[in-house]
Chain A
């Protein structure tokens, strides 16, 4: 099977401004490669500063790549101009961590979800609204949410709206950047279930970025562990957990949810 997306030797460097003279380069992503099959999930795990969010920004073309290729539907995204990217963007959507900030507080939910349709400029207002209602229902929110505003919603509901907005253009790949981290436990479970259901129903591929190894292990087919811009371990989820080879995985395991471990005499802090 052809992968939905194939990343080859991706490099991202940021230039930090010195006062006019020194321009230091910071390598956020240092030659990263992976691919994602349709209908499957790759979890990108690492602590903050490991470069995972930079990968998300590069893949969604919100940042320009310094080197490397991103093969999506037969084309190299890193080589495309802004105009050409327009036709690609609908298929590759990004959902952020903080629902409070990624939704425009002045718009209604209906307007927020329909916004991508506006940009693509394809259909009439009535069709837009109908599509918005349809996709809201898919994420578990009824039509009565169309007129509500973000501030009236809970964290979980806002995240559902963000996901709905990402789904409205029928993407093939969703990049989920720490979408569960800000939510309560029981709500995390709900949204995780929603993601699993969406994947089963529509064959979506996910790049699930997180620092929560437990949730990553639960949702992903494959896990790639990042540290300081590089991938240090990569492979099927179960194998990564079982072998726990690299120190990064071991420390993340120590930091991950395991209430049951209380029974088994616990790890040292």
Chain B
């Protein structure tokens, strides 16, 4: 329990630290939202200064931070200058779209990497394993951008799948089933790119972890007891191989919000990435900070989950931390 509390403490500290830095750097960036407006002849100077007063852009940074932090704790992420609505709901819709994409992709990657990794680790060095290694190496080398654009071109030419966006025209008129189908079709391309870029790395890690577990002396000893291969794999090998993978899993969770920026931009997926990009360019302060905070939250949560899993899975770590 002390372990959990300590980790939570670290997480909270990290979040606060990130929020301070994000706030600091954002306000440090030259200019603010209203500078753009000055160029607009239709807005008078008085209107401008009224707006500025309303949004309190001229108060000292520390004060603004404290007000903002207080608001965040109550669930209010501030106000977007550009959209003139609270930040939280804006972020939330976008984040949801991103999670749909990355969640599916992450699930697929793990579902593919685990069995493939185990399979090739068992056949280490043999022709099939070597072939698979080459295939993943090729996939690793191809830049995400090239892959995304390449697939887009293919799809445009052939017309098999929609070319970007999340929904087709007239979405609101579709039946529920048709809606689901529509979104699913739109997801195929971006998810494919995401999976293709994450799979090689994870596959290699799984393969390495399982291969190492397969060499362990305790496996030979267990074999000597006449335990079946199947049982050996599930009860002995996988748990032993799990530890490096748990850290990776935490990382997977951590990058759920932040890993898909490129794909979203190229494929016009209405996710968090493009939205934040826009906000940064427009100096929409509270959107930017809110977005950064949300991403960090996921990262921290992912790490925290990994720590907890590892603590639960490995009694040696438990012993270390309780000083037994």
Indicate yes or no for A touching B, C-beta below 8 A. yes
A interface residues, Cβ below 8 angstroms from B: 17-19
A-B contact pairs, 5 of them (CB 8 A): A17-B323, A18-B323, A19-B321, A19-B322, A19-B323
Question: 8 Å CB contacts to A: which residues of B185-205?
Answer: none
Q: Which residues of A contact B322 (CB under 8 A)?
A: 19
A21 vs chain B, min Cβ distance (A): 9
Smallest Cβ-Cβ distance to B323: which chain A residue: A19
Provide the bound-state CA to CA distance between A19 and B323, in Å. Answer: 6
Provide the bound-state CA to CA distance between A137 and B321, in Å. Answer: 50
- Chain B 287-324: CB-based contact to A (< 8 A → 1; otherwise 0): 00000000000000000000000000000000001110
Smallest Cβ-Cβ distance to A17: which chain B residue: B323
- Chain B 204-220: CB-based contact to A (< 8 A → 1; otherwise 0): 00000000000000000
- Chain B 105-140: CB-based contact to A (< 8 A → 1; otherwise 0): 000000000000000000000000000000000000
Smallest Cβ-Cβ distance to A21: which chain B residue: B323
Provide the bound-state CA to CA distance between A19 and B3, in Å. Answer: 12
Smallest Cβ-Cβ distance to A22: which chain B residue: B323
Q: Which residues of B contact A18 (CB under 8 A)?
A: 323
B58 vs chain A, min Cβ distance (A): 47
B interface residues, Cβ below 8 angstroms from A: 321-323
Q: Which residues of B contact A17 (CB under 8 A)?
A: 323
Q: Which residues of B contact A19 (CB under 8 A)?
A: 321-323
B240 vs chain A, min Cβ distance (A): 24
Q: Which residues of A contact B321 (CB under 8 A)?
A: 19
Smallest Cβ-Cβ distance to A19: which chain B residue: B323
B129 vs chain A, min Cβ distance (A): 27
Provide the bound-state CA to CA distance between A17 and B323, in Å. Answer: 7
Return the 4 tightest CB-CB contacts between A and B, nearest first.
A19-B323, A18-B323, A17-B323, A19-B322
Provide the bound-state CA to CA distance between A19 and B322, in Å. Answer: 7
A142 vs chain B, min Cβ distance (A): 36
A47 vs chain B, min Cβ distance (A): 24
Q: Which residues of A contact B323 (CB under 8 A)?
A: 17-19
B322 vs chain A, min Cβ distance (A): 7
Provide the bound-state CA to CA distance between A18 and B323, in Å. Answer: 6
Provide the bound-state CA to CA distance between A56 and B236, in Å. Answer: 40
Provide the bound-state CA to CA distance between A92 and B321, in Å. Answer: 39
Provide the bound-state CA to CA distance between A17 and B322, in Å. Answer: 10
B272 vs chain A, min Cβ distance (A): 41
A191 vs chain B, min Cβ distance (A): 28
Provide the bound-state CA to CA distance between A17 and B321, in Å. Answer: 11
B196 vs chain A, min Cβ distance (A): 39
A205 vs chain B, min Cβ distance (A): 41
Provide the bound-state CA to CA distance between A249 and B3, in Å. Answer: 47
A160 vs chain B, min Cβ distance (A): 29
B185 vs chain A, min Cβ distance (A): 55
B317 vs chain A, min Cβ distance (A): 14
A19 vs chain B, min Cβ distance (A): 4
B324 vs chain A, min Cβ distance (A): 10
Smallest Cβ-Cβ distance to B2: which chain A residue: A19
Provide the bound-state CA to CA distance between A18 and B322, in Å. Answer: 8
Provide the bound-state CA to CA distance between A82 and B35, in Å. Answer: 65
Provide the bound-state CA to CA distance between A17 and B319, in Å. Answer: 13
Provide the bound-state CA to CA distance between A18 and B324, in Å. Answer: 8
A59 vs chain B, min Cβ distance (A): 31
A224 vs chain B, min Cβ distance (A): 34
Provide the bound-state CA to CA distance between A18 and B320, in Å. Answer: 10
B163 vs chain A, min Cβ distance (A): 56
Provide the bound-state CA to CA distance between A18 and B321, in Å. Answer: 10
Provide the bound-state CA to CA distance between A245 and B322, in Å. Answer: 43
Smallest Cβ-Cβ distance to A18: which chain B residue: B323
A22 vs chain B, min Cβ distance (A): 8
Provide the bound-state CA to CA distance between A150 and B311, in Å. Answer: 39
Provide the bound-state CA to CA distance between A244 and B233, in Å. Answer: 54
A25 vs chain B, min Cβ distance (A): 15
Provide the bound-state CA to CA distance between A67 and B257, in Å. Answer: 59
Provide the bound-state CA to CA distance between A265 and B251, in Å. Answer: 67
Provide the bound-state CA to CA distance between A268 and B323, in Å. Answer: 41
A54 vs chain B, min Cβ distance (A): 22
B80 vs chain A, min Cβ distance (A): 46
Smallest Cβ-Cβ distance to A20: which chain B residue: B323
